[in-house]
Amino acid sequence: MNGILVALVGALLCFYGIRSVHLGLLAIGFGLGWLIADLFNASFWWLLLAALIGAVSVWVVTSLVFRFAAYFIGGLTGVMIGTKLATVLQPGDKNVALSMIVALAVGVSGAFLAQKFRARALLWLTSIGGASMVCSGVARFSDSLSFLRDPEPGWQQVTATLAWVGLSVVGWITQRHLFAEQLGIQHLAGDDDEPDMSDRNGGWPTR
């Protein structure tokens, strides 16, 4: 049950994240809370509580500062990606301090990318962040898949990384084709005219 829940939320963010600002925010907050709590090997109920608190907190805070929403959304998604990256790069026992440094560094990078490139950066960030959640969720389906969440050095680490990267690319391709009009990609949207800016980005901030 716990793996299915986080995998579904991750799939929502990975394949549908750019479409709706509200769904995206809730999924980002949920994933961020879950992945951070998971660093401390928390029980399922603590993971769920942290995820729900993260979802509500991100949605409320970003709604209050919508003018800077792209910056915050990019930063928070970057932190989520950095948390997963720290897990993959540190097989076995985790150095929490190093994990937080990696998460913060990727978060800052994500914030500036989202601020500069808007929907194009958010497309990548939601795909990568959602894929990290899917991998963490699928890892809880059975013990044989647990390496997707906490790989050991060697083939497990390589396989977990390739699965994450591959799913991220699939999510990016899917969103890019499904929401080409919102992203302003005319040749994929099948429209030679400039798309209506009011419909672009699915409600994500444009300035």
- Tokens 């991998």: give the residue: 135
Residue 202 is which amino acid? Answer: G
- Going by pLDDT thresholds of 50, 70 and 90, the confidence category of residue 109 is very high
Nearest to 64 by CA among 25, 106, 35, 118: 25
Q: E strands along 110-191, which residues?
A: none
Distance CA 94, CA 105 (A): 17
Do 85 and 102 form a contact (C-beta atoms < 8 A)?
A: yes
Cα 104 to Cα 76: distance, rounded to the nearest angstrom: 9
Q: Helix, strand, or coil here: 196?
A: coil
**169 vs 116, higher pLDDT:** 169
How confident is the model at residue 195, as a pLDDT?
A: 47
pLDDT band for 207, please (50, 70, 90 cuts): very low
| Count of beta carbons in the 10 Å neighbourhood of residue 177 | 12
Q: Which among 60-64, 149-153, 168-172, 177-181 has the top mean pLDDT? A: 168-172
The answer, yes or no, to whether residue 166 has pLDDT greater than 90, is yes
Span 89-106, mean pLDDT?
81
Structure tokens at 123: 């497309």
Q: What is the pLDDT of residue 173?
A: 93
Rounded to 5 degrees, φ, ψ at 176 are -65, -35
pLDDT at 33 over 90: no
Main-chain phi, psi angles of 20, to 5 degrees? -135, 125
pTM: 0.76
Segment 158-185 shows an average pLDDT of 87
Q: Model confidence over 117-142: pLDDT tens digits? A: 877 888 888 899 899 989 988 988 88
Max mean pLDDT range (2-6, 9-13, 162-166): 162-166
Name which of 5, 207, 187, 27 is nearest 118 in CA terms. Answer: 207
- Give the residue-averaged pLDDT of 21-40: 81
Share of the chain above pLDDT 70, in %: 83
Q: Is the pLDDT of residue 187 over 60?
A: no
Residue 150 neighbours by CB under 8 Å, 6+ apart: 87, 91, 139
pLDDT at 198: 43
- Structure tokens that stand for 9 in this block: 């939320």
